[in-house]
Chains A and B, each alone.
Chain A
Amino acid sequence: MERRTFLTTAAIGAATAAAGVSIPALAQGKKAVIGVSIPSATHGFMGGLNWHAQETIKRLKATYPNLDFVLATAGAVGKQVNDIEDMVATRNIDALVVLPFESEPLTSPVKAVKDAGKWVTVVDRGLSQPGIEDLYVAGDNTAFGRVSGEYFKANLKPGAKIVVLRGIPTTLDNERVDAFQAAIAGSGIEILDMQHGNWNRDKAFQVMQDYLSKHKQIDAVWAADDDMAIGVMEAIAQAGRQKEMWIVGGAGMKEIIKRVMDKDPQIPVDVSYTPAQISTALEVTALRFVSDTPVYGRFIIGSTLITPENAAQFYFPDSPF
C-alpha cells in the first residue's frame, strides 16, 4: 500500500530478527500500527498526559512514515476494554501501548492481545499478573512519596504538625503514602489527619477548609498533587493563615512550577511525576519497529525534588498541565 524505502525494510527485518519475533504484516510492506489506549482527560494530570500523547504521536508519524497510530481515550474501565478489543479486531494493530484504568480488570484483555502475538507496552499502572508486557514504563510512586517525606523531615522540627491529602483510593496512592510515612518515621513530625481529596481542586478545597476548622496548629501540608495544592492554597488564604504553613504538591503542573521558580514561600518545592511518561513509552515502543534497538524491560522515570534552581527543566508553558 504505502511506499517504503529498502532501508527501513531492512531495519525492521533486523529488528524482527533481533527480537526473535516475526511480524508477517510488516514483511509485506505494510505500515506498523501502534494502538494507544489511555484514560480520558478528566483530571489535570491526565489532561497533560493526553496532550503529551498527541504531540508525540504527531512527531513520530512525521519522523517515521512507516508507523501509524490509533489513539483511544476511555472514561471508564469497560470502555477501555472495548477500545482494546476494537483495535485488535478492526485495526489489526501490531503493538499496544496501554495505561490501564485499573490493573485487575485490564489484565486479561491485555493478555489476550499479547497472546495474539502483539507487542505490549504497559504505562504507569502495572497489570496484576507479572510478565505479560514486553515493556513497562512508569513513574516512581515510592520515590514520589519518599522524596516528599524527606523534604518534610529535613525542613521541619520534631513536634511539627502536618496534614495530608490523599488521592483517589488506589494502590498507587497507597504506595506513595506508605513511602511518605516511612520517610518521616522517627522525625517526631506528627500527621494530624489524612483524608482523600481525590486529586481534585474542589474536593481538596473542602477538605482543607475542614482541616483548618479542626486544627489550630498546622505547620505544613502534603497535598501530594498540584491540582489539590491549588485548592489547599485557596482554603488557607480564606482563613488568612498563609504565614503559618507551607505546602508540597506533586506532579509538575506548570502554574506550581512557576511559583517554585519565583520562590513563593508557600510553595517552596514540588516533586516530579511527569505526564510526559507516555511520550517515553511511545518513543521507546516506536524504536522497536524502526530500529534494532533492544527495548525489552522496565523503564522507571525517577521522581525528583523540583527546587527554584532546577525548576526551569520541568517547565512546559505550552502544555495544558
Chain B
Amino acid sequence: MSDTTRAGAGREATAPSLAARLPGLSALGPLLALILLVALGAYLNENFLSAGNITNVLARSAFIGMIAVGMTFVITSGGLDLSVGSMAAFIAGVMILGMNALLPTMGVGVPLILAGMGLALGLGLLAGLGNGLLVTKARIEPFIVTLGTMGIFRSLVTWLADGGTISLDFGVRQFYRPVYYSGLFGIAWPILVFAIVAVAGQIAMRHTRFGRYCEAIGSNDKVALYSAVNVERIRLMTYVLLGLLVGLATIMYVPRLGSASGSTGMLWELEAIAAVIIGGTALKGGYGRVWGTVIGVLILSPIDNILILADLVSPYLNGTIQGVIIVLAVVLQRGKSSSA
C-alpha cells in the first residue's frame, strides 16, 4: 500500500508544470481552513481584525514564516532539518555577543547593525553548509544529522549564555529596535521581509531550474542523477538557503527582545515543518508548494491569539485546540485531493 502511494506521489511530482497550471481543488483545503479560522476569530472578538492585532500576529509569525519557506525547499528535495530553532538561538546569541564586542570600536550606529546582520547571515550560511555537507558528503540521514546539530546549537547557546540570558547593550538595542517595531507604509518590517521571501521562494520553486531540480530529486534522486542533475549540489544548496533564511529570521528577531537564551527558538523547527506540511508539500519530498507554506504559517500563527482573545477553553487545553486545527487543515487538503 505504501508503494502505491509513493508511486502516486512520484507521478504527480514528475509533472510539476501540470500541477502548477491547475490550481486544483487540493490546493484550496488550507486556504479554506484559513478563511474559517479568520471568520471564527472575527466572530469571537471584534479586536481580532484590528490593525494592531493583525500586525502583532503577522510580525511574530514572520520568523517561522521565513524559516518555513526555506524548509519547503529542503523537504521538497527529500530532506529535513530539525536544527533550525536551535540554530536561530545560537545565531542570535553569537550575533548579540559580536555586536556587544564591536561596540567600543564602532560605536552605536548603522555600521554596527550592518556588521551584526552580516555576522548572522554568515553564521546561517556556515551552519547550513555544515548540515548540508554532513548529509551529502558524509551521507548521513538528514534526520540524524540535524538531530545532532539541534543538540549542539542548543547547548552552545546555553554555554555562551552561562545558563542565563545574553542581552544586547541597551544603547544598541534602542537603535536597532525599529527593525522589528517600525515599518514602511504602516506595515511592520518583519511582515515586509517575510512577504519578499515568500514571493522570491514561490518564483524560485515554480520558475527556476533550482526549484524543478528540488522536486525531481525529492521525487526520485536516482532518476534525477541519470538526468544529469547534480543531486549533491542541489541538496547542499537547499540546506545553505535554509541556513541563510534562519540568519535572516534572526536579524528580525533580535531587535524584538534584544536577548537570546537557552529557550530562544524552542520548537520553531516543528512549527516550520507543520506549516510546510499543512501547506500541501509532501513530507517525503517530490512536491513543494511555497505559497501553501505561507498559508500554513498563517493558519498556525493566529490560533494562540484567538484562544487568548476568546477565553473559550481552559488554558490547559490550548495545545489540544491547536493540534485539532493542524490535523483538520491537513484532512481538508487530503479530502479535496482524493476527490480531485
Contacts and interface: CB of A to CB of B under 8 A. Distances in A.
A210 B303 CA distance: 12
A320 interface: yes
Contact of B163 (A51, A205, A238): A51
A320 B308 contact: no
Contacts of B309: 210, 213-214
19 contacts: A41-B161, A41-B164, A43-B263, A47-B163, A47-B164, A47-B261, A193-B308, A194-B315, A195-B315, A205-B60, A205-B256, A210-B304, A210-B309, A213-B47, A213-B52, A214-B45, A214-B308, A320-B165, A321-B165
Nearest to B60: A206
Given A41-B158, A209-B56, A193 B257 contact: no
Contacts of A40: 158, 262
Contacts of B256: 205, 234
A82 interface: no
Contacts of A234: 256-257
Interface of A: 40-44, 46-48, 50-51, 166, 169, 193-196, 200-202, 205-207, 209-211, 213-214, 227, 230-231, 234, 238-239, 255, 319-321
Interface string B307-329: 01101000110100000000000
Given A47-B164, A47-B261, A214-B45, 18 more contacts: A41-B158, A41-B161, A42-B262, A44-B164, A195-B308, A200-B266, A201-B257, A205-B256, A206-B56, A207-B308, A209-B56, A210-B53, A210-B309, A213-B53, A230-B259, A231-B257, A319-B164, A320-B163
B132 to A, nearest CB: 27
Contacts of B163: 41, 46-48, 50-51, 320-321
B257 A44 contact: no
B305 interface: yes
Contacts of B304: 206, 210
Contacts of A255: 167
B76 interface: no
Contacts of A210: 53, 56, 304-305, 308-309
Given A40-B158, A238-B181, A200 B50 contact: no
A232 B266 CA distance: 19
A234 B316 CA distance: 25
B311 A48 contact: no
B257 A47 contact: no
A278 B52 CA distance: 44
Closest 6 CB pairs of A and B: A320-B164, A41-B163, A47-B163, A47-B164, A210-B308, A320-B162
Interface in B272-325: 304-305, 308-309, 311, 315-316, 318
B50 A213 contact: yes
Contacts of A213: 47, 50, 52-53, 56, 309
A214 B60 CA distance: 17
A193 B167 contact: no
A227 to B, nearest CB: 8
A230 B257 contact: yes
Interface in B145-178: 158, 161-165, 167
Interface of B: 45, 47, 50, 52-53, 56, 60, 158, 161-165, 167, 181, 256-257, 259, 261-264, 266, 304-305, 308-309, 311, 315-316, 318
Contacts of B259: 201, 230
Instruction: Classify the secondary structure of A's interface with B.
Output: helix
A169 B50 contact: no
A44 B158 CA distance: 10
B316 A169 contact: yes
Nearest to B63: A202
Contacts of A238: 181
A238 B311 CA distance: 23
A46 B164 CA distance: 8
A196 B304 CA distance: 11
Contacts of A43: 261-263
B164 A48 contact: yes
A150 B309 CA distance: 28
B162 A51 contact: yes
Contacts of A206: 56, 60, 304-305
A234 B161 CA distance: 21
B244 to A, nearest CB: 22
Contacts of B161: 41, 47, 320
Contacts of B60: 205-206, 209
B178 to A, nearest CB: 11
Given A48-B164, A320-B162, A211 B257 contact: no
B315 A205 contact: no
Nearest to B45: A214
Contacts of B315: 166, 194-196
- Among A47, A169, A230, A231: residue with most chain B CB under 10 A: A47
Contact of A214 (B47, B165, B181, B264): B47
A196 B311 CA distance: 13
Nearest to A319: B164
B311 A193 contact: yes
A210 B315 CA distance: 14
Contacts of A47: 158, 161-165, 261-262
A312 B165 CA distance: 21
A131 B80 CA distance: 48
Nearest to A254: B164
A169 B188 CA distance: 33
Nearest to B52: A213
A234 B256 CA distance: 8
A43 B52 CA distance: 30
A210 B308 CA distance: 7
A234 B59 CA distance: 14
Contacts of B262: 40-43, 47
Contacts of A214: 45, 47, 308-309
